[in-house]
Chains A and B, each alone.
Chain A
């Protein structure tokens, strides 16, 4: 993605404010809309019948076609955008028309219908207020549900003044009235109307359309010919499934219980030469539905919730974060609908926080699909060497990190932190100081330690410590704290020296083979010594060992069994520590005098990658003995995302800024985290801003407390 476009969006004050306000308001409205409903159950059902439908999509298309034709509609299945455009143009000219009045249809954006028709002398009028605004501006939607969210009232007033030839003041009710009056003649004059549809029912041949403004009903009522342009994946077996979709859509899209209008249209109504044409759009969908790895993307009901909660969308908006379809699912659908060349840059923009997965109306693993798609795009020069040669060879990789310790020396300031990197790297790290690579990584310190260890007399649970590279080479003291805490809690801890990178950086960069090799190496290293648990202090490593290894190695039954065995005994530090919270009694946590307050930041990969968020809080309150002052959006990404913060420093910085504001608002002087990456990012930002707020891993806070008592 061109850096100047990203910078322009970041500096667009209105866009930033609009998206930030929406990001704050949306979860509240959404929660209210779902009150009394079991979201997980509902979306589970949708996920199941959608996936089922995709398995038999050609059959579903055939059934729908038969039913719709029986009801009097003409159905046209179009393979390509060109074919769909040509078909629609043919219908319009067959009616002797040269004017098309439209309600909102993302499919029409997908095939660039307006452009096609206007080149052939057919005038198109968008009547959805947001769509009309962007049609007048000559732009494309920046959100699937709120297409003009990037436009302010002044922009709209200017566009409307130009379109109507009269001065329109920047007053929202007045602007809405202008739209009503101006577009009314369009509805009345329209010879042909075009709509999309949110759902189509195979049993009855009816389609369902969900709208708020009322233009959808006018477009499908006043013109004598109605064309509905519908993606084939919108077909569900019957009304029962359709009602589930209609139930979840408005709640997830805008936080409305239901939209003002839901219309069910079956066949052309009114007789008298009226026609209903249903143009079913394939455009890669039938092939995608049969793809074993990516078909689940088509479960999407186009609610846009993945954009609503995305921390990156919140910073850059839909003109950067997407192509025609925007948000997380837009990144996934673009290569299949518009080609991999259009998707190459945008697929890199996801930071991997998994927030979208949490709200997806059909429980799509959006983030997982994005990561898997990166394997299919062109890799940047040099990446092959970095992953294929360097990271696969543990000794070479670790020797390089040791060399980096010497190379960084000239840039360290007093206190050892790095504030300015040389040359081009400098801009990238502005507003954030960096910790240096340690003189002695933890793996060296562990060697000293194991020699002096006295075997414990009691029989203790054996734990293998998998530190992760960042903690090993940058935060060795965090690793020492982990060992000290776990030993004090009654575990026997050892550190297998042959462990190496968990492979996530390779996987996130689309180097699946390298990730697979690293998974095999680590699986063997961690299964060889007899142990009850493997413990990690990096949530990304935890997630990798628990979920990615079995997935990466699933093709080979032997390796899959091993990976699953490892996954079953892998835990995050907070999980193992929390198990001892009851046993140690409240005495430890109570501490002396008043409890100090910390605020807690949930790492994305711990909360959503591993489902762990309660245990860390128990460790802090019961074992460390502090009080937690929860911050707003405690589980929203800090903007680190591993190499993301180097690839997209401007975006990373803005995401971090939001996090820092939420931290400051709690008044706490310490931020507790369970992730060395979050610590690096947040500490760097807080220090550069001179806030005096410390960021500590829970293991460090616990080790300190245990040393005191």
Chain B
């Protein structure tokens, strides 16, 4: 499934790297983001604390971030897509405004196809209160001028997926 996910994600222009542990994935993020302005969406506590010390931009200046960092709820093998629950607008901006988007994906959460994700999506949408879920597949793209595929219109120009295969 990880293989299939990787192939599909790379086919739509994402960069995929696989890590045996979460720590190694976080280390890779640190080395990539060190010294640059970053914005993050909601992260699991161990990831957040491991990323302590990065130059996080304040909420009012999200548009100045060079790198956005997020953590995926799930992946779809067939299309190389990521599911992100981003109900906080600031966290959402972190995945939409910066030119580079780094996402950590737990290999165990990869499912076969969109319909296999139905249960997860359904649970997230049926819980009380509001919700904003994004399926992200590759970087931002357009073919609106002469149908020529061009990467990076309004969203991230680069999408880096860090797959963690712990256990």
- Taking Cβ atoms with an 8 Å cutoff, the residues of A that contact B are 18, 21-22, 25, 71-72, 127-130, 133, 146-149, 151-153, 156, 172-173, 175-177, 179-180, 183-184, 187-188, 201, 203-204, 206, 212-215, 217-218, 220-222, 239-240, 243, 246-247, 254, 257-270, 274, 276
CB distance from B115 to the nearest CB of A (A): 6
Q: Known contacts A152-B146, A218-B97; is A264 also within 8 Å of B133 by CB?
A: yes
Contact with A along B89-103 (1 / 0, CB 8 A): 110110111000000
| B138 sits at the interface (CB 8 A) | yes
CA distance A218 to B148 in the complex (A): 23
- The one of B114, B118, B134, B141 in contact with A212, judged by C-beta atoms closer than 8 angstroms, is B141
CA distance A217 to B63 in the complex (A): 14
Contact A156–B132 (Cβ < 8 Å): no
| B81 sits at the interface (CB 8 A) | yes
Contact with A along B77-115 (1 / 0, CB 8 A): 011010000011110110111000000000000000011
Q: Known contacts A146-B144, A172-B145; is A259 also within 8 Å of B150 by CB?
A: no
- The one of B129, B144, B155 in contact with A128, judged by C-beta atoms closer than 8 angstroms, is B144
Contact A213–B130 (Cβ < 8 Å): no
Q: Known contacts A153-B146, A180-B152; is A203 also within 8 Å of B96 by CB?
A: no
CB distance from B12 to the nearest CB of A (A): 8
CB distance from A212 to the nearest CB of B (A): 5
| B137 sits at the interface (CB 8 A) | yes
Interface of A is mostly: mixed
Contact A269–B145 (Cβ < 8 Å): no
Contact A129–B142 (Cβ < 8 Å): yes
Contact B132–A266 (Cβ < 8 Å): yes
Contact with A along B122-148 (1 / 0, CB 8 A): 101110011111111111111111111
Contact A213–B154 (Cβ < 8 Å): yes
Q: Known contacts A260-B136, A260-B141, A266-B132; is A217 also within 8 Å of B114 by CB?
A: no
| B29 sits at the interface (CB 8 A) | no
CB distance from B100 to the nearest CB of A (A): 13
Contact B118–A240 (Cβ < 8 Å): yes
Can you list 18 contacts pairing A with B, beta carbon distance less than 8 Å? A21-B147, A129-B145, A204-B125, A206-B125, A212-B140, A213-B155, A221-B93, A247-B114, A257-B8, A258-B79, A260-B139, A261-B135, A261-B155, A262-B135, A264-B133, A267-B130, A269-B131, A274-B89
Which 8 residue pairs across A and B have the least CB separation, nearest first? A214-B155, A267-B130, A130-B144, A214-B140, A262-B135, A129-B144, A213-B153, A270-B89
- Residue on A with the closest CB to B115? A243
- Residue on B with the closest CB to A223? B89
Contact residues in B for A260 (Cβ distance below 8 Å): 12, 136-141, 155
| B33 sits at the interface (CB 8 A) | no
Contact B135–A204 (Cβ < 8 Å): no
- The one of B97, B124, B133, B154 in contact with A263, judged by C-beta atoms closer than 8 angstroms, is B133
Contact A222–B125 (Cβ < 8 Å): no
- Residue on B with the closest CB to A26? B147
- Residue on B with the closest CB to A188? B63
| B156 sits at the interface (CB 8 A) | yes
Contact residues in A for B47 (Cβ distance below 8 Å): none
Q: Known contacts A218-B97, A266-B130; is A213 also within 8 Å of B140 by CB?
A: yes
Contact residues in B for A257 (Cβ distance below 8 Å): 8, 78-79
Contact residues in B for A184 (Cβ distance below 8 Å): 63, 154
CA distance A257 to B153 in the complex (A): 20
Contact A172–B89 (Cβ < 8 Å): no
- Residue on A with the closest CB to B121? A239
Contact residues in B for A258 (Cβ distance below 8 Å): 79, 81, 114, 135, 137
Contact A261–B134 (Cβ < 8 Å): yes
- The one of B115, B131, B145, B153 in contact with A266, judged by C-beta atoms closer than 8 angstroms, is B131
Contact A221–B141 (Cβ < 8 Å): no
CB distance from A148 to the nearest CB of B (A): 6
Contact A179–B143 (Cβ < 8 Å): no
Contact residues in A for B133 (Cβ distance below 8 Å): 263-264
CB distance from B105 to the nearest CB of A (A): 16
Contact residues in A for B115 (Cβ distance below 8 Å): 243, 247
CA distance A172 to B147 in the complex (A): 10
CB distance from A456 to the nearest CB of B (A): 60
CA distance A21 to B155 in the complex (A): 28
Contact residues in A for B143 (Cβ distance below 8 Å): 146, 212, 254
Contact residues in A for B81 (Cβ distance below 8 Å): 258, 262
- Residue on A with the closest CB to B90? A270
CA distance A72 to B148 in the complex (A): 40
Beyond A201-B125, A203-B126, 9 extra complex contacts between A and B, CB < 8 Å: A129-B144, A204-B126, A212-B143, A243-B114, A257-B78, A261-B136, A262-B135, A264-B124, A265-B132
Contact A270–B78 (Cβ < 8 Å): no
CA distance A245 to B89 in the complex (A): 26
CB distance from A222 to the nearest CB of B (A): 7
